[in-house]
Structures are given as structure tokens and as C-alpha cells.
């Protein structure tokens, strides 16, 4: 089972991240729709890490788009 969240940045851009239930190694997998992924020891840590990675990714994409507009 997994739970998907939508993150909206200050510019109004949206992206999603998913946190999966504990695996056989007692870790929580997370992933973003930007292709990032990882594992953490707790659900809260997985959710926080996914959200933070997504924020950085969205900022980089937004700046890149602004640069070439």
C-alpha cells in the first residue's frame, strides 16, 4: 500500500510524491514524479525527504524554464 501526495510550490506548479508502506527491511520507500527515489527509517522521514527533494527539483526546473523563456 502507498499514499500519494500533491505538492504545490509558491509559483503554483504541482508535482506528486508517494510514500510506500514499510518493506521487508523495515524501511519506507519514497518516490517523486520527477524520478527521484529513496528509503528512510520512518514514514515521517520518508515523507519529509520526498517533499524536500521535490521542492529542490521544482525550483531547479522553474529557474531553468525562466532562464530560457
pLDDT in tens, 7-45: 998 878 899 999 999 999 999 999 999 999 999 999 999
> What's the predicted TM-score (pTM) here?
0.84
Tens of pLDDT, residue by residue over 42-63, are 999 999 999 999 999 998 877 7
68: pLDDT strictly greater than 90: no
Give the pLDDT score at 9.
83
> By the 8 A CB rule, do 37 and 51 touch?
no
54: burial class by Cβ within 10 Å (0-12, 13-18, 19+)?
Answer: buried
Give the pLDDT score at 4.
97
The total number of structural domains in the chain stands at 1
User: Which structural domain range is residue 37 located in?
Assistant: 2-67
Q: How far apart are CA 52 and CA 55, in angstroms?
A: 5
Amino acid at each position: 500500500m502507498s499514499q500519494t501526495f500533491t505538492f504545490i510550490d509558491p509559483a503554483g506548479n504541482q508535482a506528486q510524491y508517494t510514500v510506500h508502506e514499510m518493506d521487508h527491511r523495515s524501511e519506507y520507500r519514497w518516490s517523486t514524479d520527477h524520478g527521484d527515489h529513496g528509503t528512510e527509517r520512518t514514514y515521517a522521514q520518508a515523507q519529509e525527504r520526498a517533499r524536500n527533494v521535490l521542492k529542490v527539483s521544482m525550483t531547479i526546473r522553474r529557474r531553468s524554464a525562466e532562464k530560457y523563456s
